[in-house]
Amino acid sequence: MSLSPDSPIADEKQRLQALILGVWLFLITLAMVFATTIVGYVVVRLQLVSANEWKPEGAPGLPWELFVSTLLLLASSGSTHAARSAVCRGASGRKAGGWMALTCALAAGFLFFQALAWSDLIRQELTFGDSLYAWLFFVLTGLHALHVLCGLPPLGIVTGRAFRGAYGPEPTSHAGLTFFAMYWHFLDAVWLVLYLVLLWGSRPG
Amino acid sequence: MTTIDTANKSDIADMPAAGAQGPVDNYLTWTKGAISWIFTLDHKRIGVMYLAGVLISFLIGGLFALIVRTELIAPGATIIEPSTYNLFFTLHGAVMVFLVIIPSIPASLGNFVLPIMLGAKDVAFPRLNLFSFHLWIIGAIFVVLSLLLGGFDTGWTFYTPYSTTTETGGVVPVLFGVFILGFSSIFTGLNFVVTVHKMRPPGMTWFRMPLFLWAIYSTALIQILATPVLAITLMLVGIERAFQIGIFDPAMGGDPVLFQHFFWFYSHPAVYIMILPAMGIISDLIAVHSHRHIFGYRFIAYSSVAIAIFSFLVWGHHMFTSGQSALLNTIFSAITFSVAVPSAIKIFNWLATLYKGSIALNTPMLYALGFIFLFTIGGLTGLYLGTLNTDVHLHDTYFVVAHFHYVMMGSALIGFIGGLHHWWPKMFGRMYNEKLGIIAFTLVFIGFNVTFFTQFMLGSKGMPRRYYDYQPEFEIYHFISTIGSYVMAAGFFLTAYYLLASLFSGKKAPANPWGGRSLEWQCTSPPPHDNFKTTPTVGDCYDFSVVRWSDEEDGYVIDRSKDPEIAPSSAHSGH
C-alpha cells in the first residue's frame, strides 16, 4: 500500500516526513487543549484553597486505582515502543503483533481502572455537581479518557496489520505504526502530568 | 470520489504564460457535476467553495449590521424590540468573526493561491483540506441551527456568567458550531504549515517566498496554537450551561474572569489571524501594482513572525477593567505598545515601496492604499486603548467599536476584498468592470469612514457599546453613522453585481493582467487542474525588471531570457 496516495509530494520519504510533521502539529494542538484545562485546574484550586473552599469536608482523595492505571499506561507505551523496534529490526509479524496485542490489553486495563476509580468516587458520594473539586477531577480525567478511547480504533487496526506482517523495516513501510506510537506516547506523557497535578490537587490545601 | 479527481486525463497543462489564449483545459471545467465539486480534492475548487461560503456569510452578517444600524438611527424604539436587537448585534459579530473574517483570506484565497505560488499541484494533505471544508459547512449549519432555536444574545464573546444563564435557546448549538469551525481552522493551518515547510520548489528559499506566504505561514502557526484554547474553553462553557456548575461560575467558587483570560488568549491572537493574511496580501498588491521591488523584504517577513509571537502576550489588554492586578495591567499595556513596532515596520516599508514606483491606480491597488490609510487609523487608535488611564474611560464605548472595525473590517476585510480583485481574473479567467470597481471602492471607502469615524466621536463622548437606546445628544452621530453604513452597503452590492456579471460577460483574462512575478501569474487563467506540468524553478518574485507588457497577450509576460536564474521552462521535476 502506498503512503497517502492523494499527496502531491512525489517522493515517498518526503511524504512520510510531511505526514510526521503534520502529526506533530496535531499533537501540539492537543497539548494546548490539555494545557488549558490544567491551567484552569491550577488557577481554580489556588483561588479556592486561599478561600478555604477547595476540598469539601470528608471528600475522598485520589483513588488508589489511578496509581495502577498509571503503571498500565506507562507499560502500554513501552510495549508500543517494543513493537515498533521489532518492526524496525525486521522481526516476524507474530512478534510485532504480540507486542501490539499486549498494548491492547494494557489499554483496556487502563480504561478499566479509570472506570473503577470513577465508580469508587461516586460510591463515596463525590458527585460531579457538588463541588469544583469533583467537577474538575471528572472533567480532566474524562477528557483524557476520551482521547484514549479515540485511540482504540487505530490501535485495533495497527494490531491487526502488525499480525498480518504488513509492516516492514523501512520507515515508509510502517508509517501507520509510527503515527499511532506518537499519539500513544503523547497520551502517556499527558497522563503523567495530569496524574501529578491531580495528586497535588487532592490535598486539602 | 477520488476517481473523479485523479482520473487519467492527458496532461495538457501548459506552464509558461506564453500562448495562454488557446483552448486550455482548466480546473473549473475539469470535471462536471455537483458531486465533483463537493468531494473534490483540488485546492482551487475547495478555495472557491470557501469563497462562496464566506461571501454568503458576509451578506448575512452585513444584513444583520444594517438592521442594527437602522435601529440606532434614532433614539428609542425604531424598527425592532430590544431583545431582538440583542440577538442581531450578537449574530452580526459571531457570523462576521467566525464565518467571514477568520476563514476569509487563509481558507479561500490562501487555499487557492498558496500551492500555485509554491509551484505545487496541491497542499500537502488534500483530503484533510477537504475535511476541513466539510467541517466548516457543519459548523455553519450549527450556527444556522442556533438561529432556528431562538438565537443567542451573549455578544460574540460569550462572556460568563451571562452565557451560562441567558434564556435564549441557541447558545449550546452555537458553542458547538464555533468549536467545529475552530477545528476547521486548525486543520487548514496545519496543512499550510506542512505545505510551506515541505513543498517549496527548487530556488525558493524561505526568503524568496512571496510575502503573502510568510503571512499565511505566521497565521497558520497562530491557528494551531491558539484555536484549541478557544475550543476547549467553549466546551467547558457548554458543560457549565448544561449542568449549571463549572469553573467559571462564581456561585460555586469558580472565576468568570478566568473565562475572559482563556477567551482572549485565543481571541487576541485571532485578531492577528484576521489581520496578518491581509497584510500579506497588501505586501504583494503594493509591489505588483506599483511595479517595483518590495522594499525591506526581510523586515516585512520578520515583522509577520514578530506579530505572531507578540499576539500571544497581549491578551490582558482586553481586561484592564476586569479587576486584573495593577501589575498585570501595566505589563500587558507595555507589551501592547510593542506591537506597534512590527506594524509600523510594515507600513513604512510599503510606503517606501510606493516611492518612485509606477503606480497603477486600479481597483486592487485602491484597496491596498485604502488599507494603509484605514489600518493606520485603526492601529494608532489602539494606542489610546492600550494606555491604561485612557482605556478606563474608553472601555466598552463606541471608541472600541470604531477601533476594532477599523482593524477587522477597514483592514482585514478590505485586504480580503483587495486580494479578491487581484486574484479574481486568475480564479475565474474573467476581467471585471474596472470603472465600476473604482466607483464601488469609493463608496465603500467613504461609507466606511463616515460610519466608523463618527463612532470614535460617539465613544469619546461616552456612548456605551451594545446599547439599544441612547441620550438625544448622541442622535446626530448615530444618524450620520447609519447613513454611512448605507453608502458602504451600496458599494458592496455594486461589487457583488460587477463581479458576478464578469463571470458571464467579462473580458477573457490574460495569464498575467497586472504584471505579477510570482508563480500564480505564470500559469493560465483559470489555472489548469494540475497547476504546473513540472515543478517550476523560481527566481526573485519581486524582481519586476523581467516583466514586460505584450499587446499580443493583452497582458504581461515574463521575459525569461533576461533572468539568468530561471531557465526557460526547462524546469526539472522532483525537488
* Digit-coded pLDDT (tens) for A12-39: 999 999 999 999 999 999 999 999 999 9
Per-residue pLDDT band at B12 (split at 50, 70, 90): very low
- Place B459 in a pLDDT band, splitting at 50, 70 and 90: very high
Q: Which segments of B149-202 does DSSP mark as H helices, in order? A: 162-165, 171-198
Range of the domain at A141: 67-205
Q: How far apart are CA B371 and CA B366, in angstroms?
A: 8
**Which candidate, B422, B420, B427, places its Cα nearest to that of B525?**
B427
**Above pLDDT 70, what percent of chain B?**
93
φ, ψ of residue B539 in degrees (nearest 5): -110, -150
Q: Which residues contact B135 (CB under 8 A, 6 or more apart)?
A: B180, B181, B183, B184, B187
The neighbour count for residue B147, using CB atoms within 10 Å, is 17
Task: Please check the confidence at residue B567 and state whether its pLDDT lies above 90.
Answer: no
Q: Work out the average pLDDT over A94-113.
A: 96
Within 8 A by CB and 6+ apart from B541, the residues are B208, B209, B210, B517, B518, B519
SS3 B245: coil
User: Cell for B405?
Assistant: 472595525
The residue ranking higher by pLDDT, B559 or A13, is A13
Among A136-150, B128-142, B238-252, whose mean pLDDT is lowest? B238-252
Q: How confident is the model at residue B24 (pLDDT cuts 50, 70, 90)?
A: low
Distance in angstroms (rounded) separating the CA atoms of residues B339 and B383: 10
> Over 50: is that where the pLDDT of B571 sits?
no
Q: Where residue B532 falls among pLDDT bands split at 50, 70, 90?
A: confident
What is the percent of chain A where pLDDT is above 90? 80
Residue B360 phi/psi, 5° resolution? -95, 115
> From the CA of B125, how many Å to the nearest CA of chain A?
6
**Per-residue pLDDT band at B563 (split at 50, 70, 90):** low
Q: How many CB pairs under 8 A join A and B?
A: 110
Evaluated on CA atoms A143, A149, A154, A155, the torsion sign reads positive
Determine the Cα–Cα distance for residues B313 and B277; give it in Å rounded to an integer.
20
Q: Which is nearest to B527 in space by CA: B431, B433, B423? A: B423
B117-121, B361-365, B560-564: which has the minimum mean pLDDT? B560-564
| Residue B558 in this model has a pLDDT that exceeds 90 | no
Question: And the C-alpha cell for B466?
Answer: 451594545
Classify B511 as helix, strand or coil: coil
Which residues share a beta bridge with B51? none
Q: What is the rounded CA–CA span in Å between residue B47 and residue B45?
A: 5
Q: Is the pLDDT of residue B560 over 80?
A: no
pLDDT of residue B449: 98
pLDDT, chain A, mean: 93
Residue B512 falls in which region: left (phi positive, over 0), alpha (psi -120 to 50) or beta: beta
Say if CB A121 and CB A137 are below 8 A apart: yes
pLDDT the model gives residue A59: 87
Give yes or no for residue B470 having a pLDDT over 60: yes
So what's the pLDDT on residue B356?
92
**Chain A interface with B: residues with Cβ < 8 Å:** 4-11, 14, 17-19, 21-22, 25-26, 28-30, 32-33, 36-37, 40, 43-44, 47-48, 51, 53, 128-129, 131-132, 135-136, 139, 143
Query: A18 and B255: CB-CB below 8 Å?
Result: no
State how far the Cα of B24 lies from the Cα of B38, in Å rounded to an integer.
24
How far is B506 from B498, CA to CA, in rounded Å? 9
Q: Is the dihedral of CA B251, B253, B254, B256 positive or negative?
A: positive
**B130, B41 Cβ separation under 8 angstroms:** yes
A62 vs B24, higher pLDDT: A62
* Long-range contact set of residues B144-149: C-beta below 8 Å, sequence gap at least 24: B145/B170, B145/B173, B145/B177, B146/B170, B146/B171, B146/B172, B146/B173, B146/B174, B146/B177, B147/B91, B149/B173
Does the structure show a pLDDT above 80 at B569? no
* Averaged pLDDT for residues B542-559: 90
Cross-chain Cβ contact A44/B253 below 8 Å: yes
Query: For residue B547, is pLDDT > 70?
Result: yes
In this structure, the number of other CB atoms found within 10 A of the CB of residue B357 comes to 17
| β pairing state of B547-550 and B507-508 | unpaired
Average pLDDT, chain B: 91
Longest CA–CA separation in chain B, Å: 75
pLDDT greater at residue A4 or residue B303: B303
Residue B217 is predicted with a pLDDT of: 96
Helix (H) or strand (E) holding B558: strand B555-558
Cell 463608496 maps to which residue? B443
Q: What would the mean pLDDT of A145-156 be, rounded to a whole number?
A: 97
Measured in residues, chain A has a length of 205
Residue B552's φ and ψ, nearest 5 degrees, are -65, -40
Band (pLDDT 50/70/90 cuts) for residue B19 is very low
Confidence of residue B512 (pLDDT cuts 50, 70, 90): very high
Q: Which residue of A has its CA nearest to B244?
A: A129
Residue of B126, B239, B574 with shortest CB distance to A139: B239
In order of B68, B107, B203, B209, B422, the CA distances from B515 in angstroms are 42, 25, 21, 17, 11
**Residue range B236-249: average pLDDT?**
90
Closest CA to B292 of B55, B547, B37, B492: B547
A19 in any annotated domain = no
Burial of A158 (0-12, 13-18, 19+ CB in 10 A): buried
pLDDT at B10 > cutoff 70? no
Let me know the angle formed at the C-alpha of B37 by B31 and B42, rounded to the nearest 5 degrees. Answer: 80
User: From chain B, which residues contact A within 8 Å (Cβ)?
Assistant: 2, 6, 41, 115, 120-128, 186, 190-191, 193-194, 197-199, 224-229, 231-233, 236, 239, 243-247, 252-255, 258, 262, 573-574
Amino acid identity at B103: P
Q: What is the pLDDT of residues B264-289, one digit of tens each?
A: 999 999 999 999 999 999 999 999 99
pLDDT digits (tens, 9 = 90+) for B304-348: 999 999 999 999 999 999 988 999 999 999 999 999 999 999 999
> Quick one: pLDDT at residue B566?
56
By Cβ distance, the residue of A25, A128, A132 closest to B247 is A132
Buried-exposed string B394-413: b where 16+ CB fall within 10 A, e elsewhere: bbebbbbbbbbbbbbbbbbb
Question: Which position has the grid cell 473574517?
Answer: B101
Give me the pLDDT at residue B77, please.
94
Which pLDDT score is estimated for A128?
A: 83
The pLDDT assigned to B540 comes to 87
All structural domains of chain B: 10-562 (1.20.210.10)
Query: Do the beta carbons of residue A184 and residue A80 sit within 8 Å?
Result: yes
Rounded to the nearest 5°, which phi and psi values hold at B117?
A: -60, -30
ipTM for this prediction: 0.94
Which chain A positions have a beta carbon within 8 Å of B2's beta carbon? 5-6
Domain contains A27? no
Q: Is residue B175 pLDDT above 90, yes or no?
A: yes
Residues 6+ apart with CB under 8 A from B36: B4, B5
Rounded Cα–Cα distance for residues A183 and A84 (Å): 13
C-alpha to C-alpha distance for A170 and B243, rounded to whole angstroms: 51
Nearest-5° Cα angle at B111, B204 to B548: 50
Residues 6+ apart with CB under 8 A from B327: none
Q: Is residue A178 part of a domain?
A: yes
The answer to which of A191-195, B234-238, B557-561 has the lowest mean pLDDT is B557-561
* Alpha helix segments (H runs only) across chain A: 12-50, 65-88, 93-123, 132-163, 175-201
How much is the pLDDT for A51? 86
Q: What is the CA radius of gyration of chain B?
A: 24
A contacts of B228 (beta carbons < 8 Å): 29-30, 32-33, 36
| CATH number (domain holding residue A97) | 1.20.120.80
Q: How confident is the model at residue B6 (pLDDT cuts 50, 70, 90)?
A: very low
Asked whether B152 and B174 are in contact (CB, 8 A), the reply is: yes
pLDDT at residue A203 in the model: 86
pLDDT band at B8 (very low <50, low <70, confident <90, very high): very low
Note whether B2 and A6 are within 8 A (CB): yes
Retrieve residue B204's grid coordinates.
525558493
Confirm if A168 and A90 have CB atoms less than 8 A apart.
yes
The confidence score (pLDDT) of residue B17 equals 41
CA angle B49, B50, B51 (to 5 degrees): 90
Q: Of all residues in chain B, what percent carry a pLDDT higher than 90?
A: 82
What total number of domains does chain A contain? 1
User: Roughly how many angstroms between the first and final C-alpha of chain B, as a whole number?
Assistant: 29
Least CB–CB distance from A128: residue in B121, B123, B243: B243
